């Protein structure tokens, strides 16, 4: 019982970001509405048929059903792509923002009139050094 509850809680936690985006994204909701309308048209078309063979032959030959199936699949794909694209965009923006912050801090430290020359000498010593260890003359604050 506890394992099932844990699985449900995990599924709910992992679906929260998707659900939140879905509720706020008009284009996503429009894709779902269009897919639902296409599926409903198929259901109504097939609901009038009696028997499995009649339904099967309609699915195999009816161009309206084929068109609605293609439309439903296209809309569902677009909705799924929209959700996945939002997640990828948010991840890429987070990385971009972090890279810009780190780059800005590095530029600020390297070109600061007070710390810049010392820091540049320290970095140059680190890059030129083949041992990779700290040397007394290469520490950022000038002390050993």
Could you read off the pLDDT of 6-50 as tens digits, one per residue? 887 887 787 777 777 777 888 888 888 898 898 888 888 877 777
Best-predicted range by mean pLDDT among 10-19, 74-83, 134-143? Answer: 74-83
**Domain membership flag for residue 133:** no
The whole-model pTM stands at 0.47
Per the structure, the complete domain to which residue 36 belongs is given by 2-94
**Domain membership flag for residue 120:** no
**Domain membership flag for residue 26:** yes
Number of compact structural domains in the chain? 1
**Domain membership flag for residue 25:** yes
35, 78 in Cβ contact below 8 A?
Answer: no
**Domain membership flag for residue 40:** yes
**Domain membership flag for residue 79:** yes
**Domain membership flag for residue 15:** yes
Q: Number of helices (H) and strands (E) in the chain: give both, helices first.
A: 5, 0
**Domain membership flag for residue 18:** yes
| φ, ψ at 48 (rounded to 5°) | -80, -15
DSSP strand E in the chain: where?
Answer: none
């Amino acid at each position: 019982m506890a394992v099932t509850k844990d699985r449900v809680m995990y599924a709910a936690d992992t679906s929260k970001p998707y659900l939140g985006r879905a509720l706020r994204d008009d284009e996503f909701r429009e894709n779902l509405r269009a897919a639902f309308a296409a599926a409903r048209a198929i259901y109504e078309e097939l609901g009038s048929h009696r028997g499995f063979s009649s339904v099967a032959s309609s699915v195999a030959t009816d161009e309206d059903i084929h068109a609605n199936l293609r439309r439903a699949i296209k809309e569902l794909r677009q909705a799924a792509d929209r959700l996945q694209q939002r997640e990828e965009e948010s991840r890429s923006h987070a990385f971009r923002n972090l890279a810009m912050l780190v780059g800005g801090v590095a530029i600020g430290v390297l070109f600061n009139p007070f710390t810049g020359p010392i820091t540049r000498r320290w970095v140059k010593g680190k890059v030129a050094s083949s041992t990779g260890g700290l040397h007394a003359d290469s520490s950022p604050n000038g002390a050993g």
